[in-house]
Structure 1
Amino acid sequence: MTVTNFAPESTEQSPLRISNPVSRDTVTFVRRTDGTCDTLLDLEVAPGGGLGLHFHDAYSESFTCVSGVFGVQVGARVVRLRPGESATADIGSAHRWFNDGDETAVARVTVAPGNPGLEAGLIVLYGLARDGLLSPDGTPKSLVHLAVLTDLTNSRVPGLLGVLNPVLRAVANWAKRRGVDRELLARYGA
């Protein structure tokens, strides 16, 4: 798969679209960052799909429902967004998204500031999913892959499981020294 930057006003190429059969969602890259803009994604989540609680310390994520009912949890607050409604997970806020309805939900996601690591990490994660290398909960079966992805996407585990964050950071550093991150990025075209 070749990955190129997509400018929404361009008519020469289609935006990159990736699917994850485990978390039951599809991401369309509406705008990839070049370091000067936010990342924009369209996130389609099938009934029963979603992602577990996590946080980022480098960017915020804002979710605006486009269609269906899009579930978002930020901290202890759980909301079900209807078209036109938004919720934001600020930097450092534990959050998750989900669809517990009966129809596909679509949200526009704004990542601010834009994060190329998140973009590349999503491409790798969805490639691992297609290759059957994720557990049923959506995490990589390989601790090394999990560590590389948490580092790439700036994702952290909240709460009591947060004790794993320094371990994942150490494993990610070990993996980088051995080129595992470069191998995954090359394998999945990120």
Structure 2
Amino acid sequence: MNVADLLNASSAGTQVEGGIDPDMQSDLLATLEREDPRMAALCRLFAQRQAQAAQTLQTQQAVDGADQTECEHDLLELQDRHDRLRRSARALRSALTDQQDRLEICAAALGACLACWGERTDCPHCAGRGRGGWQPPDPALYARLVAPAARRLASRDAALVAAPAFNSDPDRAGRGSAAAPLD
């Protein structure tokens, strides 16, 4: 097959995307080298550049593939981290709501401002006056939460007042009997 036949065959529809079929191109270059010795160096240079371009393309595809794999891995890690953060945020939001509910219950039991407990002068509810006793305590909550602690404190204070102090140490006064004498 001569160069003209190869060119005719390549234009007859045996092309691949982006150019002539690689096998046909190799045949064409080999034929050109045989038929015209002056073209041999040019054909070798063309083949060499084509091989370098193919190698560069293959290397770039490998790098792109590795980069894509790394990006996909990073994306999966970020999605996992995002999911964990969302779960943590939901748990924290739930815990915060629970604590706010408890504080409101305690404030109601003590008759304190539900918003600031009297600690903010710019509070729209109490203007900083809402400490315990600011308003009448909720009787049921007071009986459930405050009264038991007040009774316990009162009974402890009564026991401290009634107990004789056997030791001059104020931290130990009223905590029981004096140490037994040593024999």
TM-score with structure 1 setting the length? 0.19
* Greater RCO (CA < 8 Å, at least 6 residues apart): 1
Name the structure where strand makes up a greater proportion of residues: 1
Task: Answer with 1 or 2: which has the greater Rg.
Answer: 2
Name the structure where helix makes up a greater proportion of residues: 2
TM-score with structure 2 setting the length? 0.19
